[in-house]
Homo-oligomer: A and B are copies of this chain.
Amino acid sequence: MSSGGSDLDGRLFGDPEVAVHFSDQARLQAMLDVEAALAESEAELGLVPRECVTAIRTAARATLYDRAELGAEAAQQGNVAIPLIRHLTKHVAAADPQSARYVHWGATSQDVIDTALVLQLRAAVPQLLAHIARAAGHGARLARAHAATVMAGRTWLQQATPTTFGLKAAGWVDALDRQHAAVTAALNTAAVLQFGGASGTLAALGDRGPAVAERLAAALGLANPDLPWHAHRDRLVHLGCALGVACGVLGKIARDIALLAQTEVGEVRDGRGGGSSTMPHKQNPVGASVALAASLRAPGLVASLLAAMPQEHERGLGGWQAEWSTLPELVMVTAGAARAIADTLETLTVDAARMRENLQRTRGLILAEAVTMALAGRIGKADAHARVEEASRRAVRDQISLGDALAEDPEVMRYMGRDELERRLAPEEYLGAARTFVERVLSRRGDGR
């Protein structure tokens, strides 16, 4: 059971407002919308009688159809469009036998299935984009608020040199903004009509195929491609890739938050953290777990889309079918992750005092580079490195601070007074361009000062 289809997991891992666009009902309706728009476009061009438009429109309501029956027939015929068109034709025939003959005129089942999917994506993806935008907005607020909040920069999961929480948040925002743009662009590129008939020539419409395509695309608000793309799936797969990368970015933010929220670190806290059935004191970073899970599932889903690309001839077998549940699942997974991170960032509690406290854990070792660089200008980088390294070793061995260890070295003290030494060891003095970087991100969004 996918996250989208489960009452139990759907709200945890997905987003009901996105999932609704991929329900069986929504899928049928999208296919019926395509059929109705097709009849309309063809009527406007005089290819089918005007009367049939009303008959088809009237029958084009998903609730009229028995999903289990359609599913059973789909299992025989290979896709759900074939029985749907048959039942639609019956419905139309019951109201107006003349019109029944014009149902699905000139189209093939893949035209309907693909265009319906594109319509579903166009409805669903913007909601996911809104979550990404919301996440970026909360991230920007945090970046602004904490532009001067010093914390340990960490590399290899070891404290390295100081940074600010503002810069960390600005990095998140920067990446989220890029994904918002990338997914938007990919959605726009993918929002194209599929309309080619049996083998992609629109032969059943004689020489009127391109005219119908143009009108149909306009009616559905989609772009009209230069030619049908039944076995060329790159536009959809590019969208899938953009979603996959977005999950990666959301997973990175989630990982940072989960690590910062560790009991031993305690620098942030998920304000909405989940409880434990047995441990009353815990507050689990539920949002981070959702986004991390998404970042673990998305690569496999993207791989499935890519693997399905080499589709045979005019319309393939197997590859196309592999997309049907994969791409919607990817949208739902990404939506769930984006919502989770947006909610998490919205309620994130930041403990600046704990950040500063953790900076002291190494008794100044984290500022070894600061002293090294200051000394390097005077005694050369190699010598500076060697002296600081030696002092660091003493500091660790004797469990004293790096400042005290350095103060014991006359060579160091010759070039640097105790005052300067102290200043060099103050993390807020060793932040380089952190603020500049934060400002760049914020001002690009119009959030700058």
The 0/1 profile, CB within 8 Å of B marked 1, for residues 354-380 of chain A is 000010011001101110110010001
Interface residues of chain A: helix, strand, loop or mixed (majority): helix
The 0/1 profile, CB within 8 Å of B marked 1, for residues 58-77 of chain A is 00000000011011101111
Contact among B174, B230, B300 for A301, CB-based, below 8 A:
B300
Interface pair B369/A198, CB less than 8 Å apart = yes
A139 at the interface (CB under 8 A from B): no
Interface pair B2/A362, CB less than 8 Å apart = no
The 0/1 profile, CB within 8 Å of B marked 1, for residues 146-159 of chain A is 00000011111111
Interface pair A309/B321, CB less than 8 Å apart = no
A362 to B431, CA, bound (A): 31
Interface pair B304/A326, CB less than 8 Å apart = no
Contact among B10, B163, B210, B242 for A199, CB-based, below 8 A:
B163
Interface pair B1/A369, CB less than 8 Å apart = no
| Residue of A4, A89, A204, A263 with most chain B CB atoms under a 10 A cut-off | A263
Known A1-B19, A205-B433, A238-B242; further 9 A-B contacts with Cβ < 8 A? A9-B80, A77-B274, A105-B381, A109-B277, A156-B276, A156-B317, A203-B431, A227-B437, A289-B318
A368 to B101, CA, bound (A): 17
Copy number of this protein in the oligomer?
Answer: 4
Interface pair B362/A277, CB less than 8 Å apart = no
Contact among B76, B203, B395 for A161, CB-based, below 8 A:
B203
A262 at the interface (CB under 8 A from B): yes
Collect the chain B residues with CB atoms within 8 Å of residue A396's CB.
281
Contact among B5, B74, B170, B234 for A5, CB-based, below 8 A:
B5
